[in-house]
Structure 1
Amino acid sequence: MPAQESAQQVETWNIHNRIHAFLLDALDAESLAAIPQPKGRSVAAQFAHVHNVRKMWLAQAAPDLDAPLLKLEGPDWSADDLKTHLAASGEAIAALLVRAFEQGKVKGFKPHPSAFLGYLISHESHHRGQILQTLKQNGRLPPKKVLFGLWEWGVR
């Protein structure tokens, strides 16, 4: 893959990762504690799960990038803590993507690095949808400016 294309792929990942922080900036402690009806992971636990899945892939494909990351146990995380951990795991995934595009593969994943990027974004977007559904069920949706802002990738 040409260097410009792989740089664009990594930039796509970084934009996607910043969307999590943008949403977290709009959530208070009550919103983070919201649980889907009738049961399930809290909003905070959903964000922690996203981080932990990144960590799982890093442990498989690039243990050196995984080493400094903490696994997030339990549902009680502040927005600031979640933003910090998601930023760290997001940077580690970006470094993994750079390596993967140079090598043409991600250890433990098939078929290729572009598919891995698609997998990660799909997985995390699925959980972001669950987060928004949980917030809606609990009457905690952020303002429309934030909801529309989730789709403004050109300014994140």
Structure 2
Amino acid sequence: MNEIVETWEIHNRINLYLLNSIEEAHLSSVSLSKGRTVAEHFAHIHNVRLMWLKSGMPELLDSVEKIDKENITKDLLINQLNQSGVAITKMIEKAVNEGKLKGFKPHPTAFLGYIISHESHHRGQIVLCLKQSGHPIDKKIAFGLWEWGTR
């Protein structure tokens, strides 16, 4: 497997690792400065993936659906993040093989850096929302977010 694709897949598993550790009741947690709920951050991550799929490989959009703010459940998030993760894998594989990603410059490796940076920013926001609302993640989970060699 290509190392770029494998890096994306590890990152996606880290997102799901965090999501799986959060109690459903805590998906409505928000930070002290308000803004998105934990669930809305995860939905945003997924929906931005769809935006990139639309420009880079629209034929993959059939396997995923946009997540609306209303009625977000943990199962829905897990299912859709899994599906969009697979679709992004396919898009990255194609982009690496072709040396370019339609709609993104300069190249596929930069796209990987961009999307991981974007999603990691929101992962940090999620952890902050949980902490500030009195539901901090377990220390084992916090350290596990950095265990890329075992995820």
Partner of 1:37: 32
Q: Distance in 1 between matches of 2:71 and 2:129?
A: 16
Aligned to 1:118: 113
- Residue 143 of structure 1 aligns with which residue? 138
Q: Give the structure-2-normalised TM-score.
A: 0.96
Shifted more, 50-59 versus 135-144: the winner is 135-144
Check whether the contact 1:44–1:76 (CA below 8 A) recurs between aligned residues.
no
Distance apart, 1:38 and its partner CA: 3.0
Moved over 3 A (4+): none
**Percent of residue pairs identical:** 51
- Post-superposition CA distance 1:93-134 (Å, at most 9, x none): 000000000111000100000000000000000000111111
What CA RMSD, in Å, does the superposition of the two structures yield over aligned residues? 1.1
- Tell me the residue number matched to 2:10: 15
2:100 corresponds to which letter in structure 1?
Answer: K
Distance 1:118 1:143 in 2: 27
Aligned residues: 151
Q: Counterpart in 1 of 2:46? A: 51
Q: Secondary structure at the match of 1:153?
A: coil
Which stretch shows the higher mean deviation, 59-68 or 75-84?
A: 75-84
Say if 2:27 is the partner of 1:26: no
Counterpart in 1 of 2:104? Answer: 109
Partner amino acid, structure 2, of 1:134: C
Aligned residue among 59, 65, 68 for 1:64: 59
CA–CA distance in structure 2, aligned partners of residues 29 and 101 of structure 1: 37
User: 2: CA distance between counterparts of 1:129 and 1:75?
Assistant: 23
Give the TM-score normalised by structure 1. Answer: 0.93
How far the C-alpha of 1:76 sits from its partner, in A, is 3.5
Runs of at least 5 residues in structure 2 that lack an aligned partner in the other structure: none
Residues in 1 aligned to 2:140 and 2:65: alpha-carbon distance in whole angstroms: 32
74, 79, 83: which is aligned to 1:79? 74
